[in-house]
Structure 1
Amino acid sequence: MSKLDGNERWKSKMLLTEHQEQYEQRNAKPVNQQTEEERYLVRDYVVLPHMLTMADNSHRAILSTANPLKSVIAVFLQVLMDRISGEIQRTVREFGKRNIRVMQDECVDGIYYYQVRCRGFTEKVGFTREVMRSEIRNKMTEFTEEILQRTGGKRA
C-alpha cells in the first residue's frame, strides 16, 4: 500500500496547462521543416543550372574546334542539355507543389548561401565549391549513363 492510496486528490488526472505545453513542445516534431527529399530537391535546384552552363560552354567550345568527332559530341551534349533542362523544370514544378522558394543569398569564401522558404519556415543553406563539384560529377555520370542506356550504348 502506497502513501497515495487513500488520498482522493490523486484520483483525478488533471494536468496544468503549462505542463501540457512543455510536454507538447518536447515531443512535437517541427511541421514546417524540410523533409530529406525536399533537401535533395534544393540541392538539385542549386546544382543543375551550373551543370547546364558547363554543358552549354562545352557545346559552344566543341563547335568551334576542328575535331573530326565534333558533330557526335555536339549531339550528345545537346541531348545532355535537354535532359538537364527537363530535370530543372521537374524540380521547379515540385517546388510549386510543395510551396518551396529558393533564393541565392550570397557567396562568401567559396560557400554559396541560399535562403530556402518551405511552408513558412526559412532556412539558410550553404554549399561549398567542393560539394557542388562532387554533386555535378555524380549527376553528370548519372545522366550520361541514362542517355547511353536509352540509346543502347555501352560505357567503357
Structure 2
Amino acid sequence: MSTVTQLFKTPAADVWKVIEDGWLYSGWVVGASRIRAVDGTWPQLGAKLHHSVGSWPFLIDDSTSVTGVETGRKLELLARGWPMGEAKIVITLEDLGGRECRVSIAEDAVRGPGKVVPKVLRDPVIGVRNRETLKRLELMAAGGAGR
C-alpha cells in the first residue's frame, strides 16, 4: 500500500472529529466532489458514505464503507468509484500528546482497472493525492471543523 504520514499541529481528538463527520468527507478527501448521504452510524463498522467523484458534469456516484474502526485511532475503508474500481484505505492517528499527532493514510487499489496499473506507477499518484488530502484534513481540524 502507498503510505503517506504527516505530523499535525492539532490534537488527534480534533482530527477524529473531522473524520467522524461524514458530511465533511468531500472537504478533505481529494477526488470526492460531494456527499449525497451519510449513514447515521458513520463511522461504525459497515456504515457508508454515499459520494460523487470527479468534476461536474463528469461525476460518478458511488460509496465508501467502513471495514474496520478503532474509535479515535484508526479507520479502514473500502472506497468505490466504478468503473474505475475499488481501493482499500487505512487512516491511522497517533496521539503525540499536547497539540500534536501523527496521521497516516495507506491506500491501494483492490479491484477494477486501477488494480491493473503497475504498483510502481500507481503508488506515486496515490501518494501525491494523499499528501494533499492530509494537508486539507489538518487545516479543517485546526479550523474547528466537526466540532
Same-fold status (TM-score > 0.5) = no
Q: Max radius of gyration: which structure? A: 1
Given the two structures, how large is their TM-score scaled by the length of structure 2?
0.31
The answer to which structure has the higher strand fraction is 2
Select the structure with the greater relative contact order (CA < 8 A; seq sep ≥ 6): 2
TM-score when scaled to structure 1?
0.29
More helix by share: 1
